[in-house]
Amino acid sequence: MNLRVRATMSMIGALLLLPVLGGTAQSTAAGELVEASPTTVYLAPGRLLEVPVKAWHLRYRSTSATGTANVVSGTLLVPRTPYLFGRRPIAGYAVGTHGLGDRCAPSNAMSQGTEAELAIMSLMLLKGWAVAVTDYEGLGTPGEHTYMAGVSQGHAVLDSIRAATRVGEAKLSAEAPVVVMGYSQGGSSAAWAAQLQPSYAPELRLKGVAAGGVPADLQAVADNVDGTSDFGLAAAAGLGLDAAYPELSLASHLTPEGAALFAGARDDCVAELRSALSGRRLSELTTTDVMHLPEWQARLRENRLGGTTPRVPMYLYHAKGDEIIPYGVGATLRKQYCAGGAKVLWTGLPAGSHVLGAVEGGPLAVGWLAGRVIGLPAVGNC
């Protein structure tokens, strides 16, 4: 290739990486805002019961699990009433499992009135907080959703908060107090955000993180749901990790039936995932013991929480009757964080199921975060 052609191609590549807003080239740094479009959010299907907030659909820059720049979407919610106690706090809210297809994205659900987790977000909005809700990598933007790739999810949460401060009309401060919350997939994302924040987003004034029903050990969770009605969640995690780490080459280890089922799952939302793959076992759909291959074991270890101790107070909660994510998985994460010196408040909920854990634990988590926002000392029970 001659130098002129090479220079031309390099210039084209550079231009493709620099979106233009209002005619001005923007930075490609993580957390930079690509686009903010006003949107409307509803509490009920059929676009009923409009949530009385200012809302924007966001596209912002983030970083994949392997360090590649990407663009992620999300939604920013800001109360219409003024915040009278200084800078308006910002909550990074990480949703639980929605599915793999773009139509499953939280932004889409909020605009259609089908987002169940708005009930928890509303508790934050009533306190006057802004709420930044990421769709995660590949859920609502081109590419596959890297479901359960923890580093990617943690980055997406932290960068949604950064992007929120760059929406001019929202009038949020980069110096605002920040909290993060999530349950299930969101609990993993919140915990990863806590672990990553000191090195990835040290400028954020993170005050505390609440993480519930945390699938801290993906191997243990996969073993638990294999052959059950929730096997579709393990299959989705396999697809998500495969999307994040191409060397895993999941397709090369699938039987013809497995290939068909996994291909069909790529656009499914959570109810469809559970229905289509209910009762199946990974061994029935693969030609190899996939999860014990060296490359899979390496990535599973990389995505196991607890190896880094968060510097901020943590509120961890887990349903004692959780049938999807074993109670022991959450308890082990608590022990690891405590051993590292983190300030952890742990609550074992009496709830008899994974979903009920979210219902029981959500208000408790928001209440705990409110104490961090106003500067009350955090109490741990390690």
Q: What is the CATH number of the domain that holds 274?
A: 1.10.260.130
Q: What is the DSSP string of 207-270?
A: EEEEEES----HHHHHHHHTTSTTHHHHHHHHHHHHHH-GGG-GGGGB-HHHHHHHHHHTT-BH
Same domain, 338 and 367: yes
- Same domain assignment for residues 158 and 69: yes
| For residues 12-33, average pLDDT | 50
pLDDT at residue 71, rounded to an integer: 98
Kindly state whether residue 191 falls inside one of the protein's structural domains: yes
The tokens describing 335, both together, are 């022990």
Name the domain boundary from 241, 270, 301.
301
Confidence band for 28, pLDDT divided at 50, 70 and 90: confident
Does 195 reside within a domain?
yes
Same domain, 58 and 70: yes
- How far is Cα 310 from Cα 337, in angstroms, rounded to an integer? 7
Percent of the chain surpassing pLDDT 90: 92
Is 16 inside any structural domain? Answer: no
Domain check: are 187 and 291 in the same one?
no
Query: Residues 316, 211: contact at Cβ < 8 Å?
Result: yes
177 and 244, same structural domain? no
Q: Which residue has the higher pLDDT, 19 or 110?
A: 110
> How far, in Å, CA of 36 to CA of 58, rounded?
5
200 pLDDT more than 80: yes
Pairing of strands 90-94, 177-183: parallel
3-state SS record for 14-30: HHHCCCEECCEECCCCC
In this predicted structure, the answer to whether residue 4 has a pLDDT above a threshold of 50 is no
Residue with structure tokens 């291909």? 263
pLDDT of residue 27: 54
CB 249 within 8 A of CB 154: no
Mean pLDDT of 172-189: 98
Percent of the chain at pLDDT above 70? 93
CA distance 80 to 39: 14
Range of the domain at 201: 30-217+308-373
Mean pLDDT score, 342-355: 98
Query: How many domains does the chain divide into?
Result: 2
Q: What DSSP designation does 363 have?
A: H
List the CATH number of the domain containing 177: 3.40.50.1820
Say whether both 157 and 290 belong to one domain: no
Residue 216 has a pLDDT of 98
Cβ neighbours around 84 below 10 Å, total = 7
Residue 122 sits in the same domain as residue 168:
yes
**pLDDT surpasses 60 at 94:** yes
| Mean pLDDT lowest among 3-17, 269-283, 294-308 | 3-17
Does the residue 17 lie in any domain? no
Average pLDDT for 362-375: 98
Stretch 366-373: mean pLDDT: 98
Mean of the pLDDT values across residues 209-217? 98
Section 222-248 average pLDDT: 98
User: Which residues are 75's β-sheet partners?
Assistant: 57, 133
* Spatial separation of the C-alpha atoms in residues 51 and 102, rounded to whole Å: 23
Residue 347 counted as domain residue: yes
- Enumerate residues 6+ apart whose C-beta is below 8 A from 348: 317, 318, 320, 327, 331
Rounded Cα distance between 177 and 312, Å, is 12
Higher pLDDT, 241 or 9: 241
Residue 258 has pLDDT above 70, yes or no: yes
Give domain status of residue 379, yes or no.
Answer: no
